[in-house]
Amino acid sequence: MSMQKKTLSLIIGGLLAATMSVTVSAKTVLKLSHNNDKTHPVHMSMQYMSDEVKKLTDGEVVIRIYPNSQLGTQRESMELLQSGSLDMAKSNASELEAFEPTYAAFNVPYLFKNSDHYYKVLQDADVGQKILSNSAGKGFIGLTYYDAGSRSFYAQKPIRTPEDLKGMKIRVQPSPSALEMMKLLGASPTPLAFGELYTALQQGVVDGAENNPTALTLMRHGEVAKFYSEDEHTIIPDVLVISEKTWAKLSPEQQKALKEAADKSMMYHKDLWIEMTAKEVKEAKEKLGVEFVKVEKQPFIDAVKPMHDKAKADAVIGSYIEKIDALGN
């Protein structure tokens, strides 16, 4: 090969390498952490969002999802996210209350009348969407919500009235609202990491817990708690959040695409959640022998009414509670 051809070859090779380097660096890879299994509806919905954002950005933004608390618990993920060490995480309104107080509005018991009321609130610019943006300046902002179903009690005995909770140690999320609700109902609230709950139920560290029905099957809690009492005390959404540092690195077009993909995944999740919940309830009954107990809700509503009254008078969340009530009329 002549010197001229060698030189030309080196130049072309260099240009190709440079082009490849630009292509690689142009791709933005975001790490997303959550504490559920790959079979969980929220994982599937986030995968849908990942596919959508990749499509909308022509492959410029790629989201890599790490399930099963691989990158830490929800609390740890939030702390990593605030420092900019993690890009995205799935949390919920209970835990986010400690980081941004307006999320406490979602933690008030018996707040929503039905599913339509719930979704109306989440999509409302002055309530759901405003709460997502309220954490700006605190290291993260909310992108969208995922339905996590209504939360009810499960234990080794049926819970039909607040009196049945007296003296029981009930696992709760580390949320001031959850602690207050449990005390008003007469139980002893016991904050505990979700991943530790199966063993805690099995060994009697706690007497019961409260969550949506999928916890019975997907986390196998139905093996150690045979009664699911459908009091449906709260409907607390999961929340997808992003680090402010990561958000600032995205172009306006990429931010718009990510928000659009996130919102589309919320509605995708709505149908998936209904379908999956019905399937898991059937499995809990037939394979795990869990008994689903119908509950008269009014005594529970009466017991926690002080929380609703207190929330309406609260300087931080009072206006949100008023708007939520109005959207249900």
- The alpha-carbon radius of gyration of the chain (Å, integer) is 23
Residue 215 has phi, psi (to 5 degrees) of -65, -25
Inside any domain, residue 306 = yes
Q: Identify the pLDDT of residue 26.
A: 62
Residue in the structure block whose two tokens are 């954490």: 135
The confidence score (pLDDT) of residue 11 equals 43
8: which strand partners?
none
Structure token pair of residue 285: 């009954």
Q: How many CB atoms lie within 10 A of CB 95?
A: 20
Rounded mean pLDDT, 206-222: 95
Three-state DSSP class for 187? coil
Q: Is residue 75 part of a domain?
A: no
Q: Report the alpha-carbon distance of residue 194 to residue 210 in Å, rounded.
A: 11
Whether 97 contacts 179, CB under 8 Å: no
Residue 239 lies in a domain: yes
Instruction: Give 218's pLDDT tier (boundaries 50, 70, 90).
Output: confident
What's the domain range around 178? 91-254+272-329
Q: Is residue 21 part of a domain?
A: no
CATH of the domain at 115: 3.40.190.170
Is 217 a domain residue? Answer: yes
**pLDDT at residue 224 greater than cutoff 80:** yes
Q: What is the mean pLDDT of residues 265-274?
A: 95
Do the domain assignments include residue 221? yes
pTM here? 0.81
Average pLDDT of the chain is: 91
When divided into structural domains, the chain yields a total of: 1
H or E element, residue 76: helix 74-83
- Tokens 């309104």 correspond to 93
How do 238-243 and 88-92 pair as beta strands?
A: antiparallel
Torsions phi, psi for 174 (to 5 deg): -75, 70
Lowest mean pLDDT among 12-26, 161-175, 227-241: 12-26
CA 314 to chain CA mean position, Å: 24
Tell me the pLDDT tens digit for each residue of 162-181.
Answer: 999 999 999 998 888 889 99
